[in-house]
């Protein structure tokens, strides 16, 4: 039986509040164990004292995710897949968002290969305070030539991002492994014909491996069980991804069955699942834009329903941007609003004469306001008030945004309206207009009520700034 609350985890801790884990209390450390920001190895007494050995073993078992967590690649760009505990995000959260690998082939011209790999590695999309990235490269052996495949692997490995080696030929995969030793690639794939040879490679090189059985869950489970009994721990499942018609419905159903069985305790099939949206390009769609559209639609479907890692083809912005946005949205932790640090931010190059504004620390609100200011060349000071990551209108109504909270934010930021600016004026969001009187009293400052929408700030500034003395 899994544990999902700090109180349950606390029972297995030393309960000494020694602080060696970096937390003030064992209960605080228990909270970190539940949200996976801490590990049992961080608790020195639990690890070092023999009297806690049984509790440690039991706690590790109870904290282990239902779905096996598998790591692909090495270094800073290494990715983790799987590791989930629930079928529905609202019951806890989803961990390790869907990883997206884009394909290259070993028959590409060297210059084209290098350019595509660099485009994959350098992709970056700013979104609500963070950069969304693509995760790796899937190298497909079209030539079935070990030497050509090894040459392609060497070129990709130079970029230093995670790789998937795609071939059913064990000799080809072995050549790739020799060309990129210690890169920890994912092998794709072992099936009913080559499972013995691929399994031996996975054991010899200690790398994760995909087991594949298209639309045959019994065979897939048998392969996974055989590999696990042979000592292969890092397994990924490929039940097949049909791009159209009844076949796609079967694929979708198979993903649901596998994940439900794993979450419900069937350890023999509790592994990450691979989706292959790039099969849209094999569905007989002649128009590249239509094929790319369908690939993106498939990616969305299997991101929502348990695809832990996928191989895609189209690098067009109209394909990649929806794909990475979807994964980011589905894997946002519903327990924690997305928030920025509560502090004073500089927008542009503000001076003592520049305006001072405040908003909440809800990331979407903050970055919308910041973007509207910076894109219009408005140099200013922007204070993010800690409202527990709630937007302006809701936090005013709920009491998270008050005059006291705003004053406290100014005090903690070290910003003095009397000394750091010449005008002693603060612009409040229009949705917080009712706080004007309280703010004047608490801050001893002039309060201007801004527009309801930050998109109207440029026009507001033209009419109201600098303030009248």
**What is the model's pLDDT at position 289?**
94
284 has binding-site annotation: no
CB contact at 8 A, 164 and 191: no
CATH number of the domain at 58, please.
1.10.15.40
Q: Which of 63, 81, 104 is the last residue of a domain?
A: 63
Burial grade of 364 (CB within 10 A; 0-12, 13-18, 19 or more):
middle
pLDDT per residue as tens digits for the range 113-150: 999 999 999 999 988 778 999 999 999 999 999 999 99
**What is the model's pLDDT at position 1?**
60
339 within a domain of the structure (yes/no): no
Number of H helices, E strands in the chain: 17, 17
CB contact at 8 A, 89 and 334: yes
43 has binding-site annotation: yes
**What is the model's pLDDT at position 90?**
83
Give the distance from CA 326 to its chain's centroid: 11
160 has binding-site annotation: no
User: Nearest Cα to 113, choosing from 143, 79, 72?
Assistant: 143
> Does one domain contain both 142 and 238?
yes
CB contact at 8 A, 406 and 378: no
40 within a domain of the structure (yes/no): yes
> Does one domain contain both 290 and 411?
no
391 has binding-site annotation: yes
CB contact at 8 A, 293 and 283: no
CB contact at 8 A, 31 and 7: no
As a whole number of angstroms, the distance between CA 300 and CA 297 comes to 5
392 has binding-site annotation: yes
Phi, psi for 454 (deg, rounded to 5): -65, -20
242 has binding-site annotation: no
CA angle, residues 148, 151, 157, in degrees to nearest 5 = 140
**Residue 410 in tokens:** 């100014």
| C-alpha to C-alpha distances, 5 to 13, 45, 88, 255, nearest whole angstrom | 13, 21, 17, 28
411 within a domain of the structure (yes/no): yes
> Does one domain contain both 198 and 313?
yes
281 within a domain of the structure (yes/no): yes
**What is the model's pLDDT at position 353?**
95
User: How many structural domains are present in the chain?
Assistant: 3
**Below-70 pLDDT ranges, the chain:** 1
Three-class DSSP category at 9 = helix
Phi, psi for 350 (deg, rounded to 5): -70, 155
CATH number of the domain at 408, please.
3.40.50.11600
CATH number of the domain at 168, please.
3.20.20.20
30 within a domain of the structure (yes/no): yes
User: Nearest Cα to 328, choosing from 69, 88, 96?
Assistant: 96
Cis upstream peptide for 5 (omega within 30°) = no
> Does one domain contain both 159 and 246?
yes
> Does one domain contain both 50 and 187?
no
299 within a domain of the structure (yes/no): yes
> Does one domain contain both 365 and 439?
yes
User: Nearest Cα to 136, choosing from 108, 106, 103?
Assistant: 103
> Does one domain contain both 276 and 148?
yes
User: Nearest Cα to 64, choosing from 89, 51, 82, 46?
Assistant: 82
> Does one domain contain both 125 and 228?
yes
265 has binding-site annotation: no
DSSP 332: S
> Does one domain contain both 55 and 99?
no
Cis upstream peptide for 330 (omega within 30°) = no
> Does one domain contain both 133 and 266?
yes
CB contact at 8 A, 84 and 67: yes
Give 135's contacts (C-beta < 8 A, 6+ positions apart). Answer: 77, 79, 99, 100, 101, 161, 162
CB contact at 8 A, 162 and 138: no
Q: How many CA atoms lie within 13 A of 435 on its CB side?
A: 29
Q: Which of 331, 366, 400 is the last residue of a domain?
A: 331
As a whole number of angstroms, the distance between CA 127 and CA 132 comes to 7
> Does one domain contain both 49 and 172?
no
Domain with 433, as residue range(s), is: 344-464
417 within a domain of the structure (yes/no): yes
**What is the model's pLDDT at position 440?**
96
> Does one domain contain both 298 and 173?
yes
Neighbouring-strand partners of residue 449: 428
338 within a domain of the structure (yes/no): no
Q: Which of 30, 48, 63 is the last residue of a domain?
A: 63
């Amino acid at each position: 039986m899994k544990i999902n609350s700090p109180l349950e985890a606390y029972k297995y801790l030393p309960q000494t509040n020694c602080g060696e884990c970096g937390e003030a209390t064992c209960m605080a450390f228990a909270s970190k164990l539940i949200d996976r920001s801490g590990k049992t190895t961080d608790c020195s007494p639990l690890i070092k004292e023999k009297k806690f050995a049984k509790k440690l073993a039991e706690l590790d078992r109870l904290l282990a995710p239902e779905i096996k967590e598998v790591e692909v690649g090495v270094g800073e760009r290494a990715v983790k897949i799987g590791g989930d505990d629930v079928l529905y995000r609202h019951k806890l959260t989803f961990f390790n968002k869907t990883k997206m690998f884009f394909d290259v082939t070993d028959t590409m011209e060297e210059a084209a290969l290098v350019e595509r790999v660099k485009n994959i590695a350098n992709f970056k999309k700013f979104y609500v305070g963070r950069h969304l990235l693509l995760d790796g490269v899937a190298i497909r052996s079209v030539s079935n030539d070990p030497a050509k495949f090894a040459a392609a692997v060497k070129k990709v490995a130079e970029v230093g991002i995670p790789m998937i080696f795609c071939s059913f030929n064990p000799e080809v995969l072995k050549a790739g492994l020799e060309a990129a030793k210690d890169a920890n690639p994912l092998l794709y794939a072992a099936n009913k014909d080559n499972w013995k040879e691929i399994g031996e490679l996975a054991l010899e090189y200690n790398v994760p491996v995909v087991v594949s059985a298209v639309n045959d869950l019994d065979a897939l489970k048998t392969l996974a069980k055989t590999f696990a009994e042979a000592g292969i721990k890092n397994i990924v499942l490929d039940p097949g991804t049909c791009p159209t018609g009844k076949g796609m419905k079967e694929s979708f159903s198979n993903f649901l069955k596998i994940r439900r069985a794993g979450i419900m305790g069937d350890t023999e099939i509790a592994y990450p699942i691979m989706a292959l949206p790039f099969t849209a390009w094999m569905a007989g769609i002649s128009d590249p834009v239509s094929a790319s559209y369908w690939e993106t639609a498939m990616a969305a479907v299997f991101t929502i329903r348990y695809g832990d890692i996928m191989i895609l083809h189209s690098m067009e912005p109209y394909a990649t941007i929806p794909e990475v946005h979807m994964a980011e949205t589905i894997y946002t932790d519903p327990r924690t609003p997305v928030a920025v640090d509560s502090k004073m931010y500089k927008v542009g190059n503000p001076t003592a004469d520049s305006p001072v504004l405040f908003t909440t620390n809800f990331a979407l609100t903050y970055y919308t306001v910041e973007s509207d200011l910076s894109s219009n060349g408005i140099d200013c000071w922007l204070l993010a008030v800690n409202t527990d990551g709630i937007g302006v209108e809701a936090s005013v109504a709920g009491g998270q945004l008050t005059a006291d909270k705003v004053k406290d934010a100014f005090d903690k930021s070290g910003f003095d309206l009397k000394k750091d600016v010449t005008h002693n004026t603060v612009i409040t969001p229009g949705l917080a207009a009712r706080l004007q009187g309280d703010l004047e009293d608490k801050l001893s400052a002039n309060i201007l009520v801004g527009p309801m929408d930050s998109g109207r700030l440029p026009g507001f500034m033209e009419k109201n700034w600098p303030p009248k003395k």
